[in-house]
Structure 1
Amino acid sequence: MISAQTLDPVFHLILDLSAHQPAPGVPARLRELFCELSETENADAAQEVEEVIWTLWTSHEDRDAEEIMAEAIEGMEVGALDAARILLDDLTERYPDWAEAWNRRATLCFIEKRDADCLADIERTLALEPRHFGAISDFGHVCLRHGHLNEARAAFQIALSINPHLEDLAEILEDLAPHTLMLH
């Protein structure tokens, strides 16, 4: 069981994201894409912008790093978690300033229910890319798994403030609304 004290460092980072700037290596183009994502009301356009954001996050100047990332993502998709873990461990060691390497490893840790490791990797991801709605969402899911509903709600609301088109999070938030919880 993850305690509130264990969640606190990441939770406070998430609550204070606006005070943090992306790491110098994060593509500058993301700023305009996040503006576009938050302003567009067209679902198809939002999906396209989100895909570009994910593409930029998974891109790296080192072609080998990109290939390893693609192999790790594929490994996670097909259930080759041990192989994916080896690849992601290598990426985070060789490229410690690549937010997406940390994020993907956090996701793998979440899948494997290694939530303390997941939280550490989410914290590293957000230190490098504070707008990472995927990492913030994963934090919310860790909170849910351990019954920290207020923290989960806050994380999901913040993720939605960055990317208002995350419909699954909006649905989860509706289910977590205090009036809904009282009815169950």
Structure 2
Amino acid sequence: MSSFLILGGMLAASIASPLPAFAADAAQASVASELTTPKQRLDTLFAELKRERDQDKAREISNRIRVEWQDSGSATVNLLMQWASKAVETNRQATALDIFDQVITLSPRYIEGWNQRATLHYQMGNYRKSMSDINQVLAIEPRHFGALAGMAAILTSSGQDELALRAWEQFLDIYPADRKAQEQLGELEEKLAGDRT
């Protein structure tokens, strides 16, 4: 009974001295951000990206998605990713590959470990290994537009234009405002139409 009275008194005190409107909004936003999971934030961002037709605004949304992807939730993995990035920048590919291997072993559901290793394999001309890593990325996050673009590039370079076309279509279904993807799709459609005539 006494705890009820204490709670009632606290409630009355909070009603008697309300927060300024902006402070209340900030408090609500803070509570809302604490309640959202990374998956919920990504789902919201992907819904925004799919609706956005302005290229610049869509790029901002895609950058926010990339920020979400980059945070592994582990300080150790985040540090390893920084080391791997530095190794790539300084042209030490073997070291970077070793670090990416460690990241994937420590956190196999962390898509950027797979994605960054796929990118490095692609840069080194190891297309088969890159495609294998891309498939892992897409198994974890089918909306990973960067992995789909990488897949399309590999398929195009290996002459598999029909499959590359499908990859670009999937990309644009997720990220419709990307002009480069639109151009790539258009070029492939023209090429394939020319091949059929």
User: TM-score per shorter chain, which class?
Assistant: 0.7 to 0.9
Divergent runs of 4+, >6 A: none
CA distance in structure 2 between the aligned counterparts of 1:26 and 1:107, rounded to whole angstroms: 24
**Once the two structures are superposed, what CA deviation does each residue of 1:26-48 show, in whole Å capped at 9, x if it has no partner?**
63210010000111122222121
C-alpha contact 1:174 1:180 (8 A) present in aligned 2 = no
Q: Hey, what's the Cα distance between the residues in 2 that align with 1:109 and 1:26?
A: 28
Q: Give the aligned partner of residue 85 of structure 1.
A: 97
What whole-Å deviation, never above 9, does each CA across 1:7-52 have from its counterpart, x for those lacking one? xxxxxxxxxxxxxxxxxx9632100100001111222221211111
Query: How far apart are 1:57 and its partner, in Å?
Result: 0.5
CA distance in 2, matches of 1:103, 1:154: 20
Q: Is structure 2 residue 145 aligned with structure 1 residue 133?
A: yes
**Contact 1:109–1:117, Cα closer than 8 Å, also in 2:** yes
**More RCO (CA 8 Å, sep 6+):** 1
Residue in 2 aligned with 1:115?
Answer: 127
Q: For 1:27, what is the secondary structure of its paired residue?
A: helix
For residues 117-167 of structure 1, the C-alpha deviation after alignment (integer angstroms, 9 at most, x for no partner) is 112111111111111111111111110111000000110111111112322
1:176 is matched with which residue? 188
Hey, what does 2:114 align to over in structure 1?
Answer: 102
Any gaps of 5 or more consecutive residues in structure 1?
A: 1-24
CA contact (8 A) 1:125 1:132 kept: yes
User: What is the deviation of 1:182?
Assistant: 2.6
Choose 39-48 or 69-78, whichever is displaced more: 69-78
1:167 aligns with 2:179: yes
Q: How does 1:30-45 map to 2 (within 5 A)?
A: 30-45=42-57
Secondary structure at the aligned position of 1:131 is classed as coil
Count residues in correspondence: 159
The 10-residue stretch of structure 1 (44-53 or 68-77) with the greater mean CA deviation from structure 2: 68-77
Q: Normalized against structure 2, the TM-score is what?
A: 0.74
> 1:49-74, CA deviations, whole angstroms, 9 ceiling, x for partnerless residues?
11110011010111121122123234
Question: 1:26–1:138: structure 2 CA closer, same or farther, 3 Å change rule?
Answer: farther
Given the superposition, is the C-alpha separation of residues 115 and 46 from structure 1 closer, same or farther in structure 2, using an over 3 Å criterion?
A: same
SS across alignment from 2:151: helix
Query: Is the 2:155–2:164 Cα contact (8 Å) retained in structure 1?
Result: yes
- Which of these two proteins has the greater Rg computed from alpha carbons? 2
In structure 2, what is the Cα distance between the partners aligned to 1:87 and 1:181? 44
What is the alpha-carbon distance in structure 1 between the residues aligned to residue 47 and residue 185 of structure 2? 23
Q: What TM-score do the two structures reach when normalised by structure 1?
A: 0.78
CA RMSD of aligned residues (A): 2.0
Aligned partner of 2:166 in structure 1 is: 154
* Structure 1 residues 181 and 111: CA distance shift in structure 2, 3 A: farther
Question: Which structure: greater helix fraction?
Answer: 2
